[in-house]
Amino acid sequence: MDLFPAIDIRDGRCVRLLRGDYDAETAFGDPVEVAQSFVEAGAERLHVVDLDAARSGVRSNAATVEAMVAAVDVPIELGGGVRSVDDVAQLIDLGVERVVMGTAALEKPELLRTAAEEFPFQVVLGLDYQREASGELFVAVHGWTVKSSKSVGQLLEEFDAVPLAAVLATAISQDGTLEGPDLLGLAYLAEISEHGVLASGGVGSLQDLEDLAGLGVSHADNAMAGVIVGRALLEGLFTIEEAKQRCR
Protein backbone atom coordinates (compact mmCIF):
# COMPACT_ATOMS: atom_id res chain seq x y z
CA MET A 1 0.00 0.00 0.00
CA ASP A 2 1.58 3.27 -1.14
CA LEU A 3 1.67 6.31 1.16
CA PHE A 4 0.56 9.65 -0.32
CA PRO A 5 1.23 12.56 2.07
CA ALA A 6 -1.46 15.15 1.29
CA ILE A 7 -1.23 18.89 0.75
CA ASP A 8 -4.47 20.84 0.30
CA ILE A 9 -4.09 24.33 -1.12
CA ARG A 10 -6.43 27.26 -0.50
CA ASP A 11 -5.58 30.88 -1.25
CA GLY A 12 -1.96 29.85 -1.74
CA ARG A 13 -1.71 28.24 1.72
CA CYS A 14 -1.50 24.65 2.91
CA VAL A 15 -4.69 23.95 4.86
CA ARG A 16 -6.87 21.13 6.14
CA LEU A 17 -10.66 21.25 6.24
CA LEU A 18 -12.89 19.34 8.65
CA ARG A 19 -15.30 17.10 6.70
CA GLY A 20 -14.89 19.33 3.65
CA ASP A 21 -16.22 22.42 5.45
CA TYR A 22 -14.55 25.53 4.03
CA ASP A 23 -15.45 27.37 7.25
CA ALA A 24 -13.59 24.79 9.37
CA GLU A 25 -10.04 25.36 8.19
CA THR A 26 -6.66 24.90 9.84
CA ALA A 27 -3.64 26.49 8.12
CA PHE A 28 -0.21 24.82 8.00
CA GLY A 29 1.94 27.31 6.13
CA ASP A 30 3.45 27.49 2.66
CA PRO A 31 2.55 24.49 0.43
CA VAL A 32 5.94 24.45 -1.29
CA GLU A 33 7.77 24.34 2.03
CA VAL A 34 5.44 21.61 3.28
CA ALA A 35 6.08 19.59 0.11
CA GLN A 36 9.83 19.93 0.55
CA SER A 37 9.62 18.91 4.22
CA PHE A 38 7.59 15.82 3.34
CA VAL A 39 10.09 14.75 0.71
CA GLU A 40 13.04 15.41 3.02
CA ALA A 41 11.29 13.20 5.59
CA GLY A 42 11.07 10.33 3.11
CA ALA A 43 7.91 10.87 1.05
CA GLU A 44 8.14 9.04 -2.28
CA ARG A 45 5.05 10.70 -3.79
CA LEU A 46 2.62 13.50 -2.93
CA HIS A 47 -1.13 14.03 -3.24
CA VAL A 48 -2.13 17.65 -3.82
CA VAL A 49 -5.64 19.16 -3.90
CA ASP A 50 -6.48 22.63 -5.20
CA LEU A 51 -9.46 23.40 -2.98
CA ASP A 52 -10.25 26.70 -4.68
CA ALA A 53 -10.41 25.04 -8.09
CA ALA A 54 -12.52 22.21 -6.68
CA ARG A 55 -15.10 24.73 -5.55
CA SER A 56 -15.04 27.24 -8.40
CA GLY A 57 -13.28 25.55 -11.32
CA VAL A 58 -10.83 28.48 -11.47
CA ARG A 59 -7.18 27.45 -11.15
CA SER A 60 -6.10 30.41 -9.00
CA ASN A 61 -3.35 28.34 -7.34
CA ALA A 62 -1.63 27.38 -10.59
CA ALA A 63 1.57 29.26 -9.72
CA THR A 64 1.78 27.49 -6.37
CA VAL A 65 1.32 24.09 -8.02
CA GLU A 66 4.00 24.91 -10.58
CA ALA A 67 6.39 25.93 -7.79
CA MET A 68 5.73 22.66 -5.96
CA VAL A 69 6.44 20.57 -9.05
CA ALA A 70 9.71 22.44 -9.52
CA ALA A 71 10.70 22.14 -5.85
CA VAL A 72 10.46 18.36 -5.39
CA ASP A 73 11.65 15.36 -7.39
CA VAL A 74 8.89 12.88 -6.52
CA PRO A 75 5.69 12.13 -8.49
CA ILE A 76 2.78 14.43 -7.70
CA GLU A 77 -0.87 13.44 -7.99
CA LEU A 78 -3.16 16.48 -8.24
CA GLY A 79 -6.90 17.00 -8.07
CA GLY A 80 -9.39 19.81 -7.72
CA GLY A 81 -11.32 21.52 -10.48
CA VAL A 82 -10.09 19.29 -13.32
CA ARG A 83 -13.01 19.72 -15.71
CA SER A 84 -11.62 19.05 -19.20
CA VAL A 85 -9.11 17.03 -21.18
CA ASP A 86 -7.20 20.28 -21.70
CA ASP A 87 -6.92 20.65 -17.91
CA VAL A 88 -5.43 17.17 -17.71
CA ALA A 89 -3.01 17.88 -20.56
CA GLN A 90 -1.87 21.18 -19.05
CA LEU A 91 -1.20 19.62 -15.64
CA ILE A 92 0.73 16.71 -17.12
CA ASP A 93 2.73 19.15 -19.27
CA LEU A 94 3.45 21.04 -16.07
CA GLY A 95 5.02 17.91 -14.62
CA VAL A 96 2.17 16.44 -12.59
CA GLU A 97 2.37 12.63 -12.75
CA ARG A 98 -1.31 11.80 -12.20
CA VAL A 99 -4.46 13.92 -12.38
CA VAL A 100 -7.65 13.34 -10.39
CA MET A 101 -11.04 13.89 -12.04
CA GLY A 102 -14.13 13.92 -9.84
CA THR A 103 -17.01 16.25 -10.69
CA ALA A 104 -16.33 16.04 -14.43
CA ALA A 105 -16.43 12.25 -14.32
CA LEU A 106 -19.94 12.39 -12.92
CA GLU A 107 -21.38 15.15 -15.03
CA LYS A 108 -19.67 14.28 -18.31
CA PRO A 109 -18.42 10.67 -18.20
CA GLU A 110 -17.08 10.87 -21.75
CA LEU A 111 -14.54 13.46 -20.60
CA LEU A 112 -13.01 10.97 -18.19
CA ARG A 113 -12.96 8.22 -20.81
CA THR A 114 -11.32 10.52 -23.37
CA ALA A 115 -8.76 11.81 -20.88
CA ALA A 116 -7.85 8.30 -19.72
CA GLU A 117 -7.51 7.05 -23.28
CA GLU A 118 -5.30 9.99 -24.19
CA PHE A 119 -3.24 9.66 -20.99
CA PRO A 120 -3.56 5.99 -20.01
CA PHE A 121 -2.91 5.22 -16.33
CA GLN A 122 -2.31 8.87 -15.52
CA VAL A 123 -5.92 9.78 -14.71
CA VAL A 124 -7.47 8.95 -11.34
CA LEU A 125 -11.22 8.77 -10.76
CA GLY A 126 -12.03 10.77 -7.62
CA LEU A 127 -15.00 9.52 -5.60
CA ASP A 128 -15.88 11.70 -2.62
CA TYR A 129 -18.66 9.79 -0.94
CA GLN A 130 -21.26 10.04 1.80
CA ARG A 131 -22.91 7.10 3.51
CA GLU A 132 -26.71 7.16 3.57
CA ALA A 133 -28.80 5.77 6.45
CA SER A 134 -29.42 2.73 4.24
CA GLY A 135 -25.68 2.09 4.14
CA GLU A 136 -25.43 2.92 0.44
CA LEU A 137 -22.58 5.18 -0.66
CA PHE A 138 -23.37 8.25 -2.76
CA VAL A 139 -20.94 10.62 -4.43
CA ALA A 140 -20.64 14.36 -3.72
CA VAL A 141 -19.33 16.86 -6.29
CA HIS A 142 -18.33 20.53 -6.65
CA GLY A 143 -16.03 20.50 -3.64
CA TRP A 144 -18.46 18.27 -1.72
CA THR A 145 -21.24 20.85 -1.89
CA VAL A 146 -23.64 18.86 -4.12
CA LYS A 147 -24.81 15.25 -3.73
CA SER A 148 -25.01 13.18 -6.91
CA SER A 149 -27.96 10.93 -7.71
CA LYS A 150 -25.54 8.11 -8.56
CA SER A 151 -24.25 5.59 -6.06
CA VAL A 152 -20.59 4.70 -5.91
CA GLY A 153 -21.32 1.25 -7.31
CA GLN A 154 -23.18 2.65 -10.32
CA LEU A 155 -20.36 5.04 -11.12
CA LEU A 156 -17.61 2.46 -10.81
CA GLU A 157 -19.43 0.10 -13.13
CA GLU A 158 -19.46 2.78 -15.84
CA PHE A 159 -15.67 3.00 -15.80
CA ASP A 160 -14.64 -0.65 -15.38
CA ALA A 161 -12.95 -0.83 -18.79
CA VAL A 162 -11.36 2.65 -18.74
CA PRO A 163 -7.52 2.68 -18.37
CA LEU A 164 -7.47 4.56 -15.06
CA ALA A 165 -4.46 4.89 -12.77
CA ALA A 166 -6.63 4.31 -9.69
CA VAL A 167 -9.86 5.18 -7.90
CA LEU A 168 -9.48 7.70 -5.08
CA ALA A 169 -12.19 7.15 -2.46
CA THR A 170 -12.67 9.88 0.15
CA ALA A 171 -15.07 9.34 3.03
CA ILE A 172 -16.39 12.86 3.62
CA SER A 173 -17.67 12.02 7.12
CA GLN A 174 -14.15 11.07 8.19
CA ASP A 175 -12.05 13.62 6.32
CA GLY A 176 -9.85 15.72 8.58
CA THR A 177 -11.22 14.12 11.76
CA LEU A 178 -8.30 11.82 12.72
CA GLU A 179 -11.02 9.44 13.92
CA GLY A 180 -10.09 6.55 11.66
CA PRO A 181 -10.96 5.59 8.07
CA ASP A 182 -14.26 4.20 6.85
CA LEU A 183 -13.05 0.61 6.77
CA LEU A 184 -16.45 -0.83 5.91
CA GLY A 185 -17.01 1.46 2.93
CA LEU A 186 -13.46 1.11 1.67
CA ALA A 187 -13.56 -2.68 1.89
CA TYR A 188 -16.71 -2.62 -0.21
CA LEU A 189 -15.12 -0.31 -2.78
CA ALA A 190 -11.98 -2.42 -3.03
CA GLU A 191 -14.14 -5.49 -3.59
CA ILE A 192 -16.22 -4.05 -6.43
CA SER A 193 -13.61 -1.87 -8.16
CA GLU A 194 -11.74 -3.12 -11.20
CA HIS A 195 -9.05 -0.54 -10.41
CA GLY A 196 -6.73 -0.06 -7.46
CA VAL A 197 -8.33 1.98 -4.66
CA LEU A 198 -6.66 4.85 -2.79
CA ALA A 199 -8.17 5.39 0.66
CA SER A 200 -8.66 8.92 1.96
CA GLY A 201 -10.22 10.38 5.07
CA GLY A 202 -9.78 9.90 8.81
CA VAL A 203 -6.31 8.39 9.23
CA GLY A 204 -5.11 9.46 12.68
CA SER A 205 -2.83 6.65 13.86
CA LEU A 206 -0.40 4.00 12.72
CA GLN A 207 -3.02 1.40 13.63
CA ASP A 208 -5.34 2.99 11.07
CA LEU A 209 -2.70 2.35 8.42
CA GLU A 210 -2.32 -1.26 9.51
CA ASP A 211 -6.09 -1.71 9.35
CA LEU A 212 -6.20 -0.31 5.82
CA ALA A 213 -3.24 -2.35 4.66
CA GLY A 214 -5.03 -5.45 5.96
CA LEU A 215 -8.15 -4.90 3.86
CA GLY A 216 -8.41 -7.57 1.21
CA VAL A 217 -5.08 -9.21 2.00
CA SER A 218 -6.63 -12.62 1.39
CA HIS A 219 -7.58 -11.43 -2.11
CA ALA A 220 -4.56 -9.53 -3.41
CA ASP A 221 -6.42 -8.04 -6.36
CA ASN A 222 -8.79 -6.28 -3.95
CA ALA A 223 -6.26 -4.90 -1.48
CA MET A 224 -5.78 -1.17 -0.89
CA ALA A 225 -3.44 0.31 -3.50
CA GLY A 226 -2.62 3.40 -1.46
CA VAL A 227 -3.62 5.76 1.33
CA ILE A 228 -3.81 9.55 1.52
CA VAL A 229 -2.65 11.02 4.83
CA GLY A 230 -2.85 14.73 5.59
CA ARG A 231 -3.60 16.15 9.03
CA ALA A 232 -1.91 13.33 10.97
CA LEU A 233 1.41 14.03 9.25
CA LEU A 234 1.01 17.81 9.40
CA GLU A 235 0.35 17.62 13.15
CA GLY A 236 3.25 15.23 13.73
CA LEU A 237 1.23 12.33 15.11
CA PHE A 238 3.68 9.98 13.39
CA THR A 239 6.51 10.27 10.91
CA ILE A 240 6.51 9.48 7.21
CA GLU A 241 9.03 6.66 7.76
CA GLU A 242 6.81 5.13 10.46
CA ALA A 243 3.82 5.40 8.14
CA LYS A 244 5.67 3.82 5.22
CA GLN A 245 6.68 0.88 7.40
CA ARG A 246 3.06 0.23 8.44
CA CYS A 247 1.87 0.58 4.85
CA ARG A 248 4.32 -2.12 3.82
Q: Does the annotation count 8 as an active-site position?
A: yes
User: 78: which residues sit within 8 A by CB, 6+ positions away?
Assistant: 47, 48, 49, 50, 65, 91, 96, 98, 99, 100
**Residue 109 phi, psi (nearest 5):** -55, -30
Q: E strands of the chain, at which residues? A: 2-10, 13-18, 21-27, 46-50, 76-79, 98-101, 123-131, 137-141, 146-151, 166-171, 197-200, 224-229
Q: Residue 17 in contact with residue 58, Cβ under 8 Å?
A: no
Q: Does the annotation count 2 as an active-site position?
A: no
Q: Residue 88 in contact with residue 99, Cβ under 8 Å?
A: yes
The residue from 50, 52, 87, 128 that is catalytic is: 128
Cβ of 198: how many Cβ atoms within 10 Å?
27
Q: Which of 170, 227, 243, 206 is nearest to 17 (CA)?
A: 170
How far is residue 207 CA from its own chain's centroid? 20
Q: Which residues are catalytic?
A: 8, 128
